[in-house]
Amino acid sequence: MRAARVRGVKEKRALSVLVVVATGIVLGWLTAGGPQKAAPANTAATSTTSPAPTSASVPGSPGSGTDPQSGLPWVAVAALPSQARDTLRAIDLGGPFRYSQDGTTFGNFEHLLPSRPRGYYTEYTVPTPGSTTRGARRIVAGEGGDFYYTGDHYSHFARINR
């Protein structure tokens, strides 16, 4: 019974992350100008942040769907909203950050990320265009170089493939 419930929760989590990522892609497409600026249909999109073509054939590798360490779906940097990519760059540079809460400890009270000692995770705001508040989008960074994205204020996460 418990295994079925856990499986159901994981399926809902994966579906929600998919919806969040798809929404980000559509919003990015719309803010880029929509169909008049879209690439021709026969042009293959490439990204320097995507995994090697062979990684999709190795279970649990970035690009194959699920991170074996966290059990969370992978999300490519290129698939994140542009504001999330900006936040990742700011994290790499050590700031500046817009909100005083950025860089503070993320408690993982939802227990959706791998269990680590308190202080392992820090959180950063991903600005939401048009929002007058911090919004619901965050990047959570682990001391080990692991990064996670949530578009719904910690209800669902995806492991960022960097």
The per-residue pLDDT string of the chain (162 residues; one tens digit each, 9 = 90 and over) reads 555 554 555 565 554 544 444 455 544 433 444 443 333 333 333 333 323 222 333 344 445 589 998 999 999 999 999 999 999 999 999 999 999 999 999 999 999 999 999 999 999 999 999 999 999 999 999 999 999 999 999 999 999 998
Q: Has residue 131 been placed in a domain? A: yes
Active-site residue (options: 11, 110, 153, 156) = 153
CATH number of the domain to which 149 belongs: 3.10.450.30
Say which DSSP state 51 is in. Answer: P
153 among known catalytic residues: yes
What six digits make up the tokens of 91?
């994290």
Which of 33, 162, 30 has its CA nearest to residue 91?
A: 162
Domains identified in the chain, total number:
1
Active-site residue (options: 11, 123, 143, 156) = 123
123 among known catalytic residues: yes
Task: Give the structural domain span for 134.
Answer: 2-38+69-161
